[in-house]
Amino acid sequence: MLATRRKSSSVARLTKSSKIIKAIIHAIQEKKGENIISLDLRKIPEAVADFFIICDAGSTTQVKAIADYVEVHVKEKTGEVPYHHEGRQASQWVITDYVNVVVHVMHSETRKFYKLEEMWSDAAADEHS
């Protein structure tokens, strides 16, 4: 019985995450975010979330606009609000945490410097254009 609950719970979580991921990617594309990548971290024991969505923007204004619109669009499409967000003041790197899905909207130079994808290179990656 416990195994059945776990399986249905993980399926429900994946379905919920899929809806959030689709809404996030659509919002980023609407605001012209660049180099959108999703990382599937579920097979990495040290990972803090199941998925990362990473994109970059050419200015701090665009970083803020993308991060703001992700929150609005995800709430509109899924009813979900972020658990936490960081970085809105400087707008070099805004992190929006939906618990199982974490969004990283980064200024282009900041993304080049931190190389987040390289840090999580064991994760399966998908590009979204």
Q: Is 99 exposed, middle or buried (0-12, 13-18, 19+ CB in 10 A)?
A: middle
CB atoms within 10 A of CB 52: 23
CB 93 within 8 A of CB 64: no
Mean pLDDT by 10 residues, the chain (129 residues): 41 71 97 97 92 97 97 96 94 96 97 94 92
- The predicted pLDDT at position 4 comes to 38
- The predicted pLDDT at position 126 comes to 93
- The predicted pLDDT at position 13 comes to 52
- The predicted pLDDT at position 32 comes to 97
- The predicted pLDDT at position 129 comes to 82
- The predicted pLDDT at position 122 comes to 92
- The predicted pLDDT at position 114 comes to 95
- The predicted pLDDT at position 72 comes to 97
CB 87 within 8 A of CB 95: yes
Kindly list the structural domains of the chain, giving each domain's residue range(s) and its CATH number in brackets, ordered by start.
2-128 (3.30.460.10)
